[in-house]
Chains A and B, each alone.
Chain A
Amino acid sequence: MATNSVHPLHADIASIVGEPNVSDNPVIISAYSRDACHLTAERPAIVVMPRSVEEVQAIVKLCAERGTPIVPAGGRNGICGACLPRTDNAVMLDLVKMDRIVKLDEDVMTVTVEAGLRWAELIHRLDERGYKLGFRGPYGGNVGTVGGSVSINSIGYAASKYGPSPENFVSLEVVLADGRVLRTGTGWNPDAQLFGRYSTYNDLTGLFLGDHGTLGVKTKVTLKVYPKATHITYGDFGFKTLENAVAAFHEVQKRGLTEELNLLADRQSTDTFFPGFLDSHPEIHSMFASIVQETDEVLAKRKMEIIREIAFAHGGKDLGNFASQMHWRELFNLVQPLYNNGFWLNTCHLRPIPTIPKLMKGVWAIFERHKLLKNGIKWIASCLGSERTYATGWVTIFVPTKDKMDLGLRAWNEMLDTVIATGGCPYWNGLLWEKRALAKTRSEFMDTYWAVKKALDPRGVFSPMVFTGGD
């Protein structure tokens, strides 16, 4: 039942990847009709699971010759509709069969992997060899692929120190629209190891980071690795006001004290994350949870002491470390249990830490106006420290039943407006953010992007209509 062979490229693609790895059967296609968000677009016309860069090259060449659109979809674990086709007849590349570790280069501390490898698998394999990654994958990294994160700038574990995913890549292998294979960073030199992103020429790696698959198909990625750090300390700190919590959180980030996690949340969010956690602390209205990882035990302990001192200096209360320990133990399963509260509508974006109270006042007003809690709609309004002085803002509401979806969508759309109005910058785009982002984007920025797109993909084969508005 793998196929019904009506797509014009079916036979040709089957000759490249083998019959079992291609299907245009509507039942199979149905399963590729959405990603992990509620948004919908066109369905792919045919789905292919290539196993090598050579197969990807051959598919791309074929599609370019025929003018057939291609949508690279990674593991299809995105939550913004970025990997859904915008045009009919598209060929979707499900890349999860390209999941090998190509090389761990201990001389230059990088690892090169195929783009369809999942973060959890990569972490596990590196751990066995005594290494860790910098950025360690998005929430949902059991399934989220490394290549998918590259393409949509994902953020998550260890971003508090290492920043979002793209900060951690030194080189990419990309199949271009004419079928040629580009290697970026030190990869320009076939005799060189893959160790540097910025080398000799300008940064072509960066060109493809966050491109949402519009400029090429990433087939391999090279990331920095670090020695495994086995000493971990945890701390949870509560505050009477959001402002105090934010000030302490900001200070911790500026001083670069946390590695694995620095997570800020309001009271209701804490209750959604972890029901009952603040029951014994009625005066607490905001909290943050920190996790430090170091190769040295004394250093790990001392860093947590300093974080505690900072929290106390801002009127914080020591809440122990159960929440941060549970967070760590749940790792990539942190977000999934939140679905217990319903299907989520999120507003993921980046913002300077001092602007968090302004955002929160805006979204609290929306929650109040729509009586979300009375309608059974819970939220997490939380921020994860990123690199130094900015954070991701995750204001996410959970719609418990289908009949509450309209109400949820009304509140959610207002939340998106508030995020943009308070200076938030979405780190991904997709159907979720595209219209709002475009409405604000300077024309010089988009003109330059389209010039690059035209140069690299003159027939517009890769993910057509992406970055044009979302419909």
Chain B
Amino acid sequence: MELKNLAKYQEELFLCGRCGDCSLADKTVASDRDVFHPCAVKNVLGFEAYASRGRIMVMNDLLSGDLEINQDVVDWAYTCTTCKNCQETCTATAEGIHLPDMIEALRKDLVLNGFEMPKHVEVEQSVINYANPYKEPAESRLSLFGDRVWPETAEVVYFVGCTSAYREQEIARTTVDLLTKIGVDFTVLPDERCCGSVLLRLGRTKSFAALTEHNIAAVKRAGAKKLVTACAGCFRTWKVDVKKQGYDYPFEVLHITEYLDQLIQEGRASFASDVPLRVTYHDPCHLGRHAEVYEAPRRVIQSVGNVQLVEMETNKRYAHCCGAGGGVKNSHGRLSEQIASDRIAEAEATGATVLVTACPFCHRGLTDGAKLKKSSLTILDLPTFLLPSYKGAGTRHSATASTLKSTFMEYLRQHPRIFEGLKKEAVIDYEVEGERFHVLVTGKNTIEVVPVRAENPDVELTFSPGAVRKLVAFEREDDYAHQFGLFFKEPTHDEWIRFVLRLNIVKLLMKGYRRFAQKAGLI
């Protein structure tokens, strides 16, 4: 039996060192990362076969013929939520072993070889026949909005997505209500079709191109500069998969959390809860690990008056999955609910009364997990959480409350040569006096200094106030670099820097950090 898609990963499968961090690594001592038993599936099912290390061994056996492909293999292949936590945890290659891609490649091969999950056949047929996976008539897609008339063109297109349109309709309604209240010039596509995410996740890709081409043309017709989606699955598909498949589009794709963050920063919207609330946030895998949006939703929640955001034990890059992704909810419903139930337990442990997420799949999955666990936790999607707290326009956020932070940011803007040698898109996050900003390298000796925390920095630097005061006094970049190195090598009680490498050394070197470190005399 030919496994031509999986075979492309043969060399990478060879590179897995089978260290096992992908399922059993612990938090805190692992390079200051917050990893904790990353594989949400193995955490329920127990055996190694369900975590990345085991999956890689199974895939090697499939390629070598040591394991026969049968329905057991098919069942197993669809137990992975492709949440990517294993890849994020993996340090075996610069990017981590691409297990989610491998699983999707294997699923493609299984389909090509005639191995079917009956439910998945139905899903694909539904997308082909109805442009959605739920066998709902395509023409009823917008009926949840009543008889509202949508403009033909607008600056923003709200891409509703099938799950919000047909199953999690409250998310679609509150998103529309929120954008309307804020006064956004937006519309929805009259003939929106499924983004194709479900097909990619299940390995049934033959209709993806037609869907994408249709949707791109529709957004172009609407003349939109921005496409906003409240579904993490749609967002990841637009932002990552569509481009990976070779398509380009002349508009910006934003998740609703990013767009609301912009509106809040611009002073176009503000929120305050009428009662004090302790809230925790669940990172959808397709928004977080797959598209690297971690901070925007948190900034939005933190902007809401009377609300305290508390983090779960696993969060951001290492957040546990809700179990609803990767087709698992569809093919292994009980497993999905058990995974979600584990996540609910983490949320409850924070003492929060509200669990906010930003994806209709997560919302559905977590709600089912809460039922299984008999939890009283309130689970809300972000727009639904925000809507009752809307207080009209706000004030423009400067995000530069600390003078020292402003001074440091300005200094770095004036001295871009500090970042000489770093490749475009290198990102360093800075912390001083508990406040964050980041430097994004935009080209040779050009940088952007952004007054908020980076979504996914290469390196995180923390400076003592005394260190910053000394550094910003240097005229020459070389003197800055020398002192920077000294603060690391010979810290004093008042003058020190600390750093956390968020990428492994090989990847950092590929991004040009060797020169950065050499100038500082560190290497």
A277 close to chain B: CB less than 8 A: yes
Q: Of A23-31, A58-66, A213-221, which binds chain B?
A: A23-31
Chain A count of residues within 8 A CB distance of the other chain: 61
Chain B residues near A34 (CB, 8 Å)? 18, 57
A8 close to chain B: CB less than 8 A: no
B72 close to chain A: CB less than 8 A: yes
Chain B count of residues within 8 A CB distance of the other chain: 60
Near A by CB (< 8 A), chain B positions 286-342 give none
Q: Are B66 and A118 in contact (CB under 8 A)?
A: no
- B109, chain A: closest CB distance, angstroms: 16
Given contacts A322-B523, A329-B32, A333-B91, contact A27 B14 (CB under 8 A): no
Given contacts A28-B49, A320-B489, A340-B92, contact A75 B67 (CB under 8 A): no
> B12-29, CB under 8 A of A: which get 1 and which 0?
001111111101111111
Residue of A nearest to B69 (CB): A27
Q: Are B46 and A97 in contact (CB under 8 A)?
A: yes
A115 close to chain B: CB less than 8 A: no
Q: Of B117-125, B462-470, B514-522, which binds chain A?
A: B514-522
Q: Are A31 and B53 in contact (CB under 8 A)?
A: yes
Q: Of B217-225, B243-251, B357-365, B503-511, which binds chain A?
A: B503-511
B501 close to chain A: CB less than 8 A: yes
Chain B residues near A331 (CB, 8 Å)? 29-31
- A55, chain B: closest CB distance, angstroms: 14
Bound together, the chains give a CA A350 to CA B61 distance in angstroms of: 35
Residue of B nearest to A124 (CB): B28
Chain B residues near A333 (CB, 8 Å)? 21, 30-31, 91, 504
- A39, chain B: closest CB distance, angstroms: 11
Chain A residues near B15 (CB, 8 Å)? 339, 342-343
Q: Are B48 and A142 in contact (CB under 8 A)?
A: no
> A69-94, CB under 8 A of B: which get 1 and which 0?
00000011100000000000000001
B204 close to chain A: CB less than 8 A: no
A456 close to chain B: CB less than 8 A: no
- A30 contacts which of B49, B92, B501 (Cβ < 8 Å)? B49
B55 close to chain A: CB less than 8 A: yes
Chain B residues near A36 (CB, 8 Å)? 17-20
- A339 contacts which of B30, B93, B522 (Cβ < 8 Å)? B93
- A234, chain B: closest CB distance, angstroms: 9
Chain A residues near B517 (CB, 8 Å)? 276, 322
- B73, chain A: closest CB distance, angstroms: 6
Q: Are B19 and A143 in contact (CB under 8 A)?
A: yes
Bound together, the chains give a CA A256 to CA B19 distance in angstroms of: 31
Chain B residues near A340 (CB, 8 Å)? 92-94, 504, 506
> A270-310, CB under 8 A of B: which get 1 and which 0?
00001111011000000000000000000000000000000
A401 close to chain B: CB less than 8 A: yes
Chain A residues near B10 (CB, 8 Å)? 402
Given contacts A276-B523, A279-B518, A339-B93, contact A31 B58 (CB under 8 A): yes
> A321-354, CB under 8 A of B: which get 1 and which 0?
1110110011111011101101110000000000
- B492, chain A: closest CB distance, angstroms: 12
B252 close to chain A: CB less than 8 A: no
A383 close to chain B: CB less than 8 A: no
Chain A residues near B16 (CB, 8 Å)? 339
Residue of A nearest to B513 (CB): A276
B54 close to chain A: CB less than 8 A: yes
Q: Are A142 and B14 in contact (CB under 8 A)?
A: no
Residue of A nearest to B72 (CB): A27
Enumerate chain A interface residues (CB-CB to B < 8 A): 1-2, 4, 20-21, 23, 25-28, 30-36, 47, 49, 75-77, 94, 96-97, 118, 120-121, 123-124, 127, 140, 142-143, 274-277, 279-280, 320-323, 325-326, 329-333, 335-337, 339-340, 342-344, 401-402
Interface CB pairs A-B, < 8 A, 30: A26-B67, A26-B68, A27-B58, A27-B72, A30-B66, A36-B19, A49-B46, A76-B20, A94-B47, A120-B25, A120-B26, A143-B25, A275-B506, A275-B514, A276-B514, A277-B523, A320-B522, A322-B523, A329-B32, A329-B500, A333-B21, A333-B30, A333-B31, A333-B91, A337-B92, A337-B504, A339-B92, A340-B93, A340-B94, A340-B506
